[in-house]
Structure 1
């Protein structure tokens, strides 16, 4: 009997509506860690059912045919997700420029290759959707994500913005945009 390779049970696929609860749980877990330093404790949603329903709607009825949600899996367990769509920035061309609008891994599943597989699948998806360039906004202080993307060949393009997360101007998050050419 041959020994199966350690990568046999990991994959990436387009998300299904049934993945909504797993994506929501993972997103809220990851956000608690990712935004701990930039957001007050009560600012993040905590109701998984509400977030899952929003995911279910967007997975069932995307606003644009090129809005894609990908999930990284270990066996049948969601370990991360990525979103790709036409870029919406005023200086971007929504036909040529795709956006990696989210790349989130379960904090407990980092450094196992899921992020690399997910990023490659997102790039392949944007290429299949005929985008020739991809952009991604990252929190300026998120050295881990920025380092991961620059290690994969992405680079800052000089664009930056501040998001007003609570609408009052008290919780501002500075972001920088990275980009890469798509083959």
Structure 2
């Protein structure tokens, strides 16, 4: 949400009309209507953003500032931007906009659920991670039911252990 708020002046991010945190750690965002763009056009936008080219320089400044802040403040913030072509879309005016450029470092986060569930339990409040084993991420899952159950049990034990 910080990206949409801080980069609104660039007109290279979607207009955000509403944002709500959901139980379990999800977010609901209501944005302006967007259309998909060709993968090559999206890749070019991502390349320009990474190179901080003049056409996206203001946006790039905000993106990298928000990314650095996320890396400092959030334990499992992804080390790089999500360059998925689907994150670049076209608004009704015809402008390209960047959405959903940040994410979690899923492989590291889910490894910590297994290796150090206490760290996860003390870093991410239970209501914000309630459904994390149900998210079928490409790089970190989906997991077989027994693995998901072992993760849930480890976190439940950690939650119980860390209660005052």
TM-score, normalized by the shorter chain, greater than 0.5:
no
Quickly name the TM-score band, shorter chain normalised.
Answer: under 0.3
Give TM-score, length-normalised by structure 2: 0.28
Q: Which has the higher contact order (CA 8 A, sep 6+)?
A: 2
Bigger proportion of residues as helix: 2
TM-score of the superposition, structure 1-length normalised?
Answer: 0.26
Name whichever structure is richer in strand by fraction. 1
